[in-house]
């Protein structure tokens, strides 16, 4: 046997013996578990990425944040135009109509002041004009009953309008019955109704 043969036999025996003793491949090596440090490092990297502050992404851009845009505020040109037009309309209106409207709105007859009063008024300020209209077209036999069902404040408002138009005296009787009879007997002519309609038109905001 040559030297090579002896070496081969010796190697084969060692390999066979190792396999019989352990039942494992002599060349296998145990797999090492990753250390805790490796996980700690990866977790730290993830935490850093999740905590990135993106709030300053738009800083310096001059653009407002979404949902926080401000509306531009300024004069209402449409309202100013309507007020100017109303002032011109009042300056050309009949003095009687202007006077009645000023009385209802509690202001002076200056066109500018009255225009402002009209544009800031409520519908309740001129509802009495509808009451006068309804009274005028109602049956004369039913007028007294209709007026008697009204409260004193409402009767006083109707009296004020008719007094302003020269239909009734300036002072309403203190007794409700007398005031109701006087209102029911008031001569509300077409000319009077014409003033009522014109004042109602002037009282419109636009």
pLDDT winner (highest mean) among 13-17, 74-78, 89-93: 89-93
Average pLDDT for 41-69:
48
- H helices then E strands: how many in the chain? 10, 0
The answer to whether 168 and 162 have CB atoms below 8 angstroms apart is yes
- What's residue 144's pLDDT? 83
3-state SS class at 7: helix
Neighbours of 81 (CB within 10 A): 11
Query: In the chain, where are the structural domains located?
Result: 77-202
- pLDDT tens, residue by residue, 121-168: 999 999 999 999 999 998 878 888 889 889 999 999 999 999 999 999
- pLDDT tens, residue by residue, 102-128: 999 999 999 999 999 999 999 999 999
pTM above 0.85, yes or no: no
> Is 90 exceeded by the pLDDT of residue 5?
no
The answer to whether 94 and 198 have CB atoms below 8 angstroms apart is yes
């Amino acid at each position: 046997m040559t030297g090579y043969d002896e070496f081969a036999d010796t190697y084969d025996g060692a390999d066979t013996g190792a396999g019989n003793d352990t039942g494992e491949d002599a060349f296998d090596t145990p797999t090492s578990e990753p250390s805790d440090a490796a996980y700690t490092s990866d977790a730290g990297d993830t935490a850093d990425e999740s905590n990135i502050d993106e709030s300053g992404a738009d800083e310096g851009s001059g653009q407002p944040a979404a949902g926080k845009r401000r509306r531009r505020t300024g004069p209402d040109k449409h309202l100013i135009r309507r007020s100017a037009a109303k002032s011109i309309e009042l300056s050309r209106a009949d003095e009687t109509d202007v006077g009645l409207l000023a009385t209802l709105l509690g202001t002076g007859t200056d066109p500018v002041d009255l225009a402002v009063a009209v544009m800031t008024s409520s519908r309740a300020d001129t509802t009495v004009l509808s009451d006068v209209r309804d009274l005028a077209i109602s049956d004369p036999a039913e007028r007294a009953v209709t007026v008697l069902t009204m409260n004193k404040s409402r009767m006083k408002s109707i009296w004020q309008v008719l007094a302003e138009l020269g239909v009734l005296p300036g002072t309403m009787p203190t007794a409700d019955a007398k005031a109701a009879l006087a209102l029911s007997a008031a001569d509300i002519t077409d000319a009077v109704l014409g003033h009522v309609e014109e004042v109602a038109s002037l009282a419109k905001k636009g």
